[in-house]
Structure 1
Amino acid sequence: MQQPAHSPRDVTLTRYRASVFDLDGVVTDTARVHCQAWRKLFDGYLAERAERDGVPLWAFDPQGDYRRHVDGKPRNEGIRSFLESRSIQLPFGSPEDAPDEETICGLANRKQRFFEQFLATEGVDVFASSVAFIESIRKAGLKTALISSSKNAQDILVRTGLAHLFDAVIDGIEAERTGLHGKPHPDIFRHAASLLSVPPGEAFAVEDALSGVEAAYKADFGLVIGIDRARQRDELLAHGADVVVDDLAELMPADVVQENSLPDALEAFDQLVGAMGPERPAVFLDYDGTLTPIVDRPELAVLDAPVRRTLERLAKCCTVAIVSGRDRVNVAGLVGIDNLVYAGSHGFDIAGPDGLQMQHERAAEFLPALDAAEEQLRARLVDVPGVLIERKRFAIATHYRLVAESDVERVEAAVETVAGEHPQLRRTGGKKVFELRPQLPWDKGKAVVWLLEALGLAKEKVVPIYIGDDETDEDAFAALRERGGLGLFVGDASQATAASYRLEDTDAVGHFLSRLADMLEDRP
């Protein structure tokens, strides 16, 4: 089934009439929550079996077992597949079985209970670039459908406010009602195409699971796109993907972006301020690439004196917060203004005026894993010229801006290997940087929402404005869109973003903030 790999540059999506997207791992990061629930289910059940039978059983592997046995499959099929890998046979039972019954259906209901618990406590993360991508192709006239093996899909769409993005939704409940076979059977993809009134050959499919890619391939879709969330590019291609990307931003149609390019925040300043009305802003700012240009070494990113004076003026008129991937103490020292709020390590560590202080309640649990990962990365990359490993309190950034092109793959492989040895950590990216962070549902978007609540701004007539330039800022853009806020993307507007406006560069950011300060100072 190995397919010839196409470059993202060679893919023309606007030649298709429709598209079908998987939910978990493509649109939302609920795959992580599902994995937690599967792990709790199987580890608990295997421990029960081992204690009862006196036979040790090896635990659930959240990477290998998840991908091989449960990812993308209906719940009952995933349980059967995993138990067979441990030479365990159970009766199927009935869908009404209680969660403590030792049947496949009983375990399925137990897993559902665990999933609902994790979902209630940790929430749902959305891939902002995927949302921007779907919005762009819908503007270009393509129909869209969502498919999922999960019976929780409709609930998740309501929680995230994304239901409006899809003309049809086929979830585990609908598949069961209509008798559709689960992935890797092609039924669910063919059914989605039929609901969109489009032949499969005139649609493209987007999947991150091996079983899903295989299902779309078997359904004869015109193009099958694999998203490599689990570092399994070759396997995705082998199962039927025509093209594999790390993120859907790589496939944003150039003609669609040009047609729907973001308005320049300086050119549209009066319109932007008019939309705010009498409400005052609360300004949230990234540091690197937003207040200062990107430089070769982090310590060289020094804030210009005029920008500092503008921030001082602005802070007298409204709340100003710096939300950075840097350590909080480090970025606070670089900015050097006492009455600002500082959120470091992507929001894990926050401090501000009047005794404001917050560290994520669980972040400290991950310090041993971060310490060990840092030591391993330094040992693995000690002989790579130009690599810079920056340890933050709750993150590790591996910068490769000064690394020779021939060595970048080695740096990425080292980071990926270390991440694989520490399931408590997750790998993220940025501009010329690979980063490891705690495997927690926390990001800049959640930090900004927390600040709005903690500062009492959510109850007041305040319009939050977030300005940033990197993929880590997309979480904040997406979070504020849901709250009527404004996102301003700094840089090339031809890439996918959840922002509402753009600014060309850091100089433009300075001009925008200065005009905003002028406007606020002139208000009564």
Structure 2
Amino acid sequence: MQTFFDWQVYEFVQLPELYYAGSHGMDIMGPLPQTSNGVKTYGTKTLDGTGNEVVLFQPANDITCIMDEVYRLLEEKARKISGARIEHNKFCVSVHFRCVKEENWLHLAEEVNSVIKSYPNLYATQGRKVLEIRPSILWNKGRALEFLIRTLGFANRNGVFPIYIGDDQTDEDAFKVVARRRHGLSILVSDSVKETHASHSLQDPNEVLKFLQHLVKWRKMSVRS
């Protein structure tokens, strides 16, 4: 049976009516549609941790064994470099080097490349002090966003206003999707000025929280009026 990777997030939020996505959009879980309201069931039906029926969409599901193997190899490499940390996200493996001395960054990158060169179906990208090893499939956060909009039946509905908030280079693909729609809000979270496809920016998670609180307040006021 297929399983959603990040049950911890799902159990923390405890809102079964939401869609949850991890691993750059390669691991998506949502509620099983109960009515024919335009929502289509894409993916595999399974059960969540409490026995509720959910739907999983995992476009790279056939590569999990390879990711397990790469994770073990990178774990061995990381032990030789102080501060390096390897994180297994099921459909991608993250090599964190935030705590690695700068003079060792190149050596770490070489060690990572020495592993993935044997796997032509994988590639590496760089984020914020992290190297991401991912499957070479036509999928990213932007495609995941498009998938969710389409699956929820929102693709051709002008009244839908998507809001996407992200703080990583990999979020740029989703920012581009929002920009192409010309109807929505894309927000980069960064405390420095940088080139981005996002339409707006916030400095840190505290500002994100304030923004979301304002959204809730605005929604309550609009309902009352």
* TM-score (normalizing by structure 2): 0.81
Structure 2 counterpart of 1:403: 100
Task: Say if 1:370 and 1:396, in contact at 8 Å, map to a contact too.
Answer: yes
Task: Say if 2:30 and 2:56, in contact at 8 Å, map to a contact too.
Answer: no
CA change 1:428–1:331 in 2 (3 A) is: farther
Alignment map for 1:316-327 (pairs within 5 Å): 327=5
Structure 1 counterpart of 2:42: none
CA change 1:412–1:492 in 2 (3 A) is: same
Partner deviation per Cα, 1:317-338 (whole Å, 9 max, x = no partner): xxxxxxxxx9432433454444
Paired residue for 2:179, among 470, 481, 487? 481
CA distance in 2, matches of 1:352, 1:359: 9
Alignment map for 1:303-318 (pairs within 5 Å): none
Structure 2 counterpart of 1:516: 215
Return the letter of the residue paired with 2:9: V
Unaligned runs of 5+ in 1: 1-325
Structure 2 counterpart of 1:432: 129
Return the letter of the residue paired with 1:468: G
Note the C-alpha offset of 1:430.
1.3
Note the C-alpha offset of 1:356.
4.9
Paired residue for 1:462, among 138, 160, 165? 160
Note the C-alpha offset of 1:490.
0.7
Return the letter of the residue paired with 1:447: A
Structure 2 counterpart of 1:328: 6
Note the C-alpha offset of 1:368.
2.9
Structure 2 counterpart of 1:347: 25
CA distance in 2, matches of 1:341, 1:442: 18
Unaligned runs of 5+ in 2: 33-52
Alignment map for 1:225-240 (pairs within 5 Å): none
CA distance in 1, matches of 2:85, 2:11: 21
Q: Which one has a bigger Cα radius of gyration?
A: 1
Note the C-alpha offset of 1:439.
0.5
Note the C-alpha offset of 1:455.
1.1
Partner deviation per Cα, 1:96-143 (whole Å, 9 max, x = no partner): xxxxxxxxxxxxxxxxxxxxxxxxxxxxxxxxxxxxxxxxxxxxxxxx
Alignment map for 1:23-62 (pairs within 5 Å): none
CA distance in 2, matches of 1:425, 1:358: 22
Return the letter of the residue paired with 2:18: L
Q: State the secondary structure of the residue aligned to 2:74.
A: helix
Task: Say if 2:78 and 2:85, in contact at 8 Å, map to a contact too.
Answer: no
Return the letter of the residue paired with 2:165: I
CA distance in 2, matches of 1:413, 1:370: 19
Q: 1 or 2, which has the higher strand percentage?
A: 2
CA distance in 1, matches of 2:10, 2:96: 21
Return the letter of the residue paired with 1:343: A
CA distance in 2, matches of 1:418, 1:462: 44
CA change 1:346–1:401 in 2 (3 A) is: same
Partner deviation per Cα, 1:132-163 (whole Å, 9 max, x = no partner): xxxxxxxxxxxxxxxxxxxxxxxxxxxxxxxx
Partner deviation per Cα, 1:213-269 (whole Å, 9 max, x = no partner): xxxxxxxxxxxxxxxxxxxxxxxxxxxxxxxxxxxxxxxxxxxxxxxxxxxxxxxxx
CA change 1:331–1:430 in 2 (3 A) is: farther
Structure 2 counterpart of 1:371: 68
Note the C-alpha offset of 1:505.
1.0
Structure 2 counterpart of 1:449: 146
Aligned length: 198
Report sequence identity in percent.
36
CA distance in 1, matches of 2:91, 2:140: 12
Alignment map for 1:95-494 (pairs within 5 Å): 327-354=5-32, 355-361=53-59, 363-460=60-157, 461-484=159-182, 485-492=184-191, 494=193
CA distance in 2, matches of 1:483, 1:497: 16
Partner deviation per Cα, 1:47-88 (whole Å, 9 max, x = no partner): xxxxxxxxxxxxxxxxxxxxxxxxxxxxxxxxxxxxxxxxxx
CA distance in 1, matches of 2:173, 2:19: 19
CA distance in 1, matches of 2:188, 2:82: 32
Task: Say if 1:350 and 1:358, in contact at 8 Å, map to a contact too.
Answer: yes
Q: 1 or 2, which has the higher helix percentage?
A: 1
Note the C-alpha offset of 1:357.
2.0
CA distance in 2, matches of 1:378, 1:429: 18
Note the C-alpha offset of 1:398.
0.8
CA distance in 2, matches of 1:474, 1:480: 10
Return the letter of the residue paired with 2:29: A
Structure 2 counterpart of 1:498: 197
Task: Say if 2:175 and 2:186, in contact at 8 Å, map to a contact too.
Answer: yes
Task: Say if 2:19 and 2:29, in contact at 8 Å, map to a contact too.
Answer: yes
Note the C-alpha offset of 1:411.
1.4
